[in-house]
Amino acid sequence: MPVTELLTLSKSSLEKGIYAALESYANVHRGSGHFSHITTHIFDEARNHVLNYLNLDHKKYLAIFTTPFGEKAFKSQFDEVHVRVIGSDEIGLALGVRVLVIKKSDIPKGEPSVSGGGTAKLTSADWVIWARNAEKFEAGTPAVINILYYTRALIAIKSDGMKPMNFALKEDTANSSFDEEWRNLSGLELLEKVQQSMIGANYMVPTMQGLQPFVNLDNSASTPTYDLIWSIFNKALSLSQEAQQKMIRHTRKVLADFVNAPESEYDVLFASNTTEAINLLARSFENAGEAGKIMNSSMEHTSNDLPWRLLNNHELIRLSADNDGFFSTEEIEQKLLTYTSNGQPASASIKLVAITGASNVMGVCNNIKEISRIVHKHGALLMVDAAQLIAHRSIDMVDWGIDFMVFSGHKIYAPFGSGALLARRGLLNFSKEQLDEIRHDGDENAAGIIALGKSLTMMQRIGMDLIEEEEQKITAYALAEMSKVKGMRIRGIDAHDHPEITNKLGVILFDIEGKMADVISKKLMHQSGIGTRYGCHCAHIMVKQVSGVGPKLEKFQWLMQSVLPNMQLPGLSRVSFGLQTTTEDIDRLCDGLKHISLNSKEDAFAVKMDVVKKQVSELLNAVGKTVFELE
């Protein structure tokens, strides 16, 4: 068989396997739904397949998935540790994947080279318990689909004996005919088309009630994608490097337009996710060589907390948030006055205010424009973590006065390992050579960037005002219906007629009196086929605040985690909505919650759950077989 035919067959087989992963895609680790369990299972299986490719013993070696940036950071910090590196660039796939293969006995202790989401198991304002093994070095949401694509390519190479650099077919131009039927759609008509083509919709999962279509209410962790974006991603992998670079330049323009960040005023650096983008910005401040202070808030995701804690020569100051998730502009002004007035030296001043645009736990949007006015009045710069904001509300970087902004594509229906740091020109402390290297590393994931660009285009054509309007309806409906559940305790804005309801996204943090959060979420999974998330949601300080966890209990948690690292700690459950969420989904959620609040027959539940757990395990293995086995 000619090599071109072999390559075509292998690529077609690859796409079928990865599509199976997308049908049940969710964020890895700590999720409670079937999709999170499946994705975590096949993500962990990918490590074993990489070791098989290298003929290494699983018991002695560990595969850590990272990016070009992560690889360099690891080598820089742990230069004495021997690692073997293999990357997607070596087999001609524009995926931005690196794998660090290391002996388990050589895994570095202490702080990770890149910190943020997922690298810590538990945090307080003053201490951190780091995650173990690979997780500590896989900052932020991993590019699961890219990693699976790459891993499956390695399997094909080993199986068929292909030459790595010949794996990807290259074309000079993209045939755009596959999106012909989408071209004239916009507004509500386009929204409905997107909803109908969501990959994984109506996916049947085992529950105590038999097979039911899975309901994804964990969109704040990661969003699914739909047929058009998947097609774009695949097409991008087959483009020539010249064509890929052309499309990346186009995506920069699309992004600049989407958030009103004119290219003449802002630079766009692509990164793998929000966590990596914030770490890039932290390196920039470190490069400045000047001591100073950074201010974030008690509501931040660990991605916007840990990088600033570990920053050399900088002290972290925290702004408080009330139990609804709102900042006090008076406190912001007072803190800035304290550190920038009265003739204090520059080393004592606040250089940067780094805050969330929308909280991943409280779901509220603060007034960024007013905060920016105060921040700039006192000579500081403003960074906005827009990971939870960008898919839900319009953003105007110029009008709001944002100096830096970060976000992830997997939060906006493009879960292919791309995100961005937007920076006002002239503010980044990198040499031209460093910037070129950063840009080159980020651009390596060309397929992910191009898919992100198309997703932003589609959101713009639907209209962010319409997206906000539809989400407000779903959120108000959910708050009204959830409040009818006996023992329900919603944290933060808890009513559809709350005066600040227009500033709340479709994110609801809750528990039920007398029920542990993990029990609630697991029962929603096994009884009702609903995916939610529980725990501290990488926003440990805020979740402990609204849960009433004081200093003594927090210290006890630290002690217990240090002694018994597998112990389940208290937390809260969370539901979060996406473009595909319907009132029927909310009804099913509330029926499940009512059943949980009233049902005390735990023994009968345990027997039934054992049966469902076995069925779920069979499902995990079946999906893994489909993803990794070549036809």
Residues 182-208: tens digit of each pLDDT: 888 999 999 999 999 999 999 999 999
| Residue 342 pLDDT exceeds 70 | no
Number of Cβ within 10 Å of residue 371's Cβ equals: 22
* Backbone angle region of 463, left / alpha / beta, with phi > 0 → left and psi within -120 to 50 → alpha: left
Of 304, 323, 310, 330, residue with least CA distance to 384: 304
Query: Region 361-370: what's the mean pLDDT?
Result: 97
- 565-580 pLDDT, tens digit per residue, is 666 666 899 999 999 9
Query: Region 292-302: what's the mean pLDDT?
Result: 96
What local confidence, expressed as pLDDT, does residue 452 receive?
A: 98
- What DSSP state is assigned to residue 136? G
What local confidence, expressed as pLDDT, does residue 180 receive?
A: 66
- 529-539 pLDDT, tens digit per residue, is 999 999 999 99
| Residue 325 pLDDT exceeds 70 | yes
- 497-536 pLDDT, tens digit per residue, is 999 999 999 999 999 999 999 999 999 999 999 999 999 9
What local confidence, expressed as pLDDT, does residue 172 receive?
A: 56
Q: Which of 10-19, 159-168, 234-243, 259-268 has the highest average model confidence (pLDDT)?
A: 259-268
Please check whether residue 505 is in contact with residue 387, taking contact to mean a CB–CB distance below 8 angstroms: no
**Residue 564 contacts by C-beta under 8 Å, 6 or more apart in sequence?**
none
Mean pLDDT of the chain: 91
| Residue 562 pLDDT exceeds 80 | no
Please check whether residue 570 is in contact with residue 517, taking contact to mean a CB–CB distance below 8 angstroms: yes
Query: Region 467-486: what's the mean pLDDT?
Result: 97
Q: What order do you get walking across the sheet with 507-512 strand by strand?
A: 488-491, 507-512, 572-576, 533-535
Query: Region 121-134: what's the mean pLDDT?
Result: 89
| Residue 9 pLDDT exceeds 50 | no
Of 58, 24, 57, 61, residue with least CA distance to 42: 24
d(CA 380, CA 27) in angstroms, rounded, equals 35
Band the pLDDT of 177: cuts 50, 70, 90: very low
**Residue 281 contacts by C-beta under 8 Å, 6 or more apart in sequence?**
307, 383, 404, 406, 421, 423, 428
- What DSSP state is assigned to residue 364? B
d(CA 443, CA 17) in angstroms, rounded, equals 25
Pick the more confident residue, 277 or 89: 277
The burial of 561, by beta-carbon neighbours within 10 Å (0-12 exposed, 13-18 middle, 19 or more buried), is given as middle
Of 421, 461, 465, residue with least CA distance to 439: 421
Query: Region 54-78: what's the mean pLDDT?
Result: 96
What is the helix (H) or strand (E) element at residue 247, kind and residue range?
A: helix 241-258
Pick the more confident residue, 238 or 564: 238
What local confidence, expressed as pLDDT, does residue 610 receive?
A: 84
Query: Region 51-56: what's the mean pLDDT?
Result: 96
What is the helix (H) or strand (E) element at residue 452, kind and residue range?
A: helix 446-462
Helix, strand or coil, per DSSP, at residue 116: coil
Place of tokens 């389940």: 568
Structure tokens at 627: 């993803």
Q: C-alpha angle with apex 216: 211 to 220, nearest 5 degrees?
A: 160
Of 152, 154, 135, 149, residue with least CA distance to 65: 135
d(CA 578, CA 224) in angstroms, rounded, equals 9
Instruction: Name which of 7-21, 26-40, 97-111, 488-502 the model is least confident about.
Output: 7-21
| Residue 231 pLDDT exceeds 50 | yes
Structure tokens at 368: 């960024």
Q: What's at 611, amino acid-wise?
A: V
Q: What residue spans of 288-325 are helical by DSSP H? A: 306-309
What local confidence, expressed as pLDDT, does residue 533 receive?
A: 95
What is the helix (H) or strand (E) element at residue 371, kind and residue range?
A: helix 368-377
Please check whether residue 356 is in contact with residue 220, taking contact to mean a CB–CB distance below 8 angstroms: no
What local confidence, expressed as pLDDT, does residue 4 receive?
A: 41
d(CA 419, CA 586) in angstroms, rounded, equals 30
% pLDDT > 90, the chain = 79
What local confidence, expressed as pLDDT, does residue 132 receive?
A: 87
Structure tokens at 92: 């001609």
Query: Region 394-403: what's the mean pLDDT?
Result: 98
d(CA 463, CA 465) in angstroms, rounded, equals 5
Query: Region 141-158: what's the mean pLDDT?
Result: 93
What local confidence, expressed as pLDDT, does residue 347 receive?
A: 65
What local confidence, expressed as pLDDT, does residue 2 receive?
A: 40
| Residue 218 pLDDT exceeds 90 | yes
Query: Region 135-155: what's the mean pLDDT?
Result: 95
Please check whether residue 129 is in contact with residue 569, taking contact to mean a CB–CB distance below 8 angstroms: no
